[in-house]
Amino acid sequence: MVTGALTILLVDDNSEFTGRLIELVKELSGIGNIMIARSYDEGATIFHQEKPGVILLDIHLRGRTGVEFIKHIRGAGRVCSILVMSNHADEQYRRFYLHAGADYFFDKTYEFPLIPETLRKIAAQK
């Protein structure tokens, strides 16, 4: 891990998707440790132990929903960027998750290439 680099927590149970995303993100400048959680509980534990600067979050988690995870993170009082990713990306979901506290919302299918660029911008601001 690069000292001072942005740490990322990826909360998603789709191994194929997380693998593709990690391959795109790991080479970005300013990115350090990338951690993976496959469920709400695992994600919450890693969040509190590792204190990531960015959370990449699916809306469907084992055990709970992405909105519950966002509320947990925002309720903890720590500042971090939350990027929600979903295949259910109609405007209703987008507005709902942004209103709940997400900083960004991406359609996994059509906006996937925007995620690394957004992470690059967040890392440059840190």
Q: Positive or negative CA dihedral for 10, 66, 126, 20?
A: positive
28 or 57: whose pLDDT is higher? Answer: 57
Domain at 6-125, CATH homologous superfamily: Response regulator (3.40.50.2300)
| 79 CB-near residues (< 8 Å, 6+ apart) | none
Note the pLDDT of residue 2: 46
| 26 CB-near residues (< 8 Å, 6+ apart) | 34
pTM over 0.85: yes
For the chain, domain boundaries: 6-125
Note the pLDDT of residue 125: 86
Write out pLDDT tens, residues 7-33.
999 999 999 999 999 998 988 888 999
Say if residues 81 and 54 touch (Cβ distance below 8 Å). Answer: yes
pLDDT band at 1 (very low <50, low <70, confident <90, very high): very low
Number of Cβ atoms within 10 Å of the Cβ of 11: 27
| DSSP letters spanning 12-71 | -S-HHHHHHHHHHHTTSTTEEEEEEESBHHHHHHHHHHH--SEEEEESEEBTEEHHHHHH
Percentage of the chain beyond pLDDT 90 is 73
88-109: average pLDDT: 93
